Amino acid sequence: NAGVMQNPRHLVRRRGQEARLRCSPVKGHSHVYWYRQLPEEGLKFMVYLQKENIIDESGMPKERFSAEFPKEGPSILRIQQVVRGDSAAYFCASSPGTRYQETQYFGPGTRLLVL
Amino acid sequence: AQTVTQSQPEMSVQEAETVTLSCTYDTSESDYYLFWYKQPPSRQMILVIRQEAYKQQNATENRFSVNFQKAAKSFSLKISDSQLGDAAMYFCAYRSANNFNKFYFGSGTKLNVKP
């Protein structure tokens, strides 16, 4: 009964490097969401994807950030040329495509630290 | 845009006592879902309880119950017989029934449980 899996759990990058965060949704879930949590704050929506499609990216910064959810494999959140302000916890959540779509199940998060 | 407000940054409760966490939200929609998530020190987001806005009956899950006041746009969480394992950050969240794209989270309430 695997839940949402994220890896790595902790990621350290130097300024200017790229960060790749992976998310495997609950088996059978076709909807994936990414959130960012800055220190001492709640989660902020970034992007919503279904298989091979970006449905809503209204919370994504316009530059350096991208996300994908390919037909096979995990969803990837990619941050290019990271800056210190990107340091945060990044959470992935998934939901089924039909009933109970309203509930999202969260992964354990990836803590990104930019030096 | 919907907003979720948690006005209590931090609260404390004695073990075995009852505590209530407050949450208010702002929306023009009539159909939506409300959630309470728990985030322990491990930072994992754990669903505690959910409430459908069209249901008048307050949701209950073991020691956790809500007081949903739709007209007042209030959604408080009551934790009875508090346990040390209840110590965590608690986030209130809103989700539209018509737009499943995203959750809106409050800023969180840190709950301390004293032995």
Encode pLDDT of A53-84 as tens digits.
Answer: 999 999 999 899 999 999 889 999 999 999 99
- In percent, how much of chain A has pLDDT > 90? 68
Per DSSP, B94 falls in state E
Low-confidence ranges of chain B (pLDDT < 70): 1, 100
Return the pLDDT at A2: 67
Confidence of residue A102 (pLDDT cuts 50, 70, 90): low
Q: Where are the domains of chain B?
A: 3-98
Question: Do residues A107 and A32 touch, judged by C-beta distance below 8 A?
Answer: no
Q: What rounded mean pLDDT belongs to chain A? A: 90
Q: Which CATH architecture has domain B3-98?
A: Sandwich (2.60)
Closest CA to B103 of A56, A5, A2: A56
A26 shares contact with chain B (CB less than 8 Å)? no
Residues of A in contact with B103 (CB under 8 A): 33, 35, 43, 45, 93, 104
Confidence of residue A3 (pLDDT cuts 50, 70, 90): confident
Residues of B in contact with A56 (CB under 8 A): 101-102
A85-96 pLDDT, tens digit per residue, is 999 999 999 988
Report how far residue B7's alpha carbon sits from residue B106's, in angstroms, rounded to the nearest whole number.
9
Return the pLDDT at A40: 78
- For residue B45, give the nearest of A45, A95, A106 by CB distance: A106
What are the residues facing A90 on neighbouring strands? A36, A110
Return the pLDDT at A101: 59
Count of C-beta atoms within a 10 Å radius of residue A96: 16
- Pick among B43, B48, B107 to test the A interface (most A CBs inside 10 A): B43
Return the pLDDT at B103: 82
Return the pLDDT at B98: 75
A24-53 pLDDT, tens digit per residue, is 999 888 899 999 998 878 889 999 999 889
SS (H, E, C) A23-44: EECCCCCCEEEEEEECCCCCEE
Concatenated DSSP letters for chain A? ----EEE-SEEEE-TT--EEEEEEPPTT--EEEEEEE-TTS-EEEEEEEETTEEEE-TTS-SSSEEEE--SSS-EEEEE-S--GGG-EEEEEEEE-SSTTTT--EE---EEEEE-
- Residue B68 exposed, middle or buried by CB count within 10 Å (0-12, 13-18, 19+): buried
The phi and psi torsions of A54 (rounded to 5 degrees) equal -95, 120
* Cross-chain Cβ contact A101/B100 below 8 Å: yes
- Pick among A104, A105, A110, A111 to test the B interface (most B CBs inside 10 A): A104
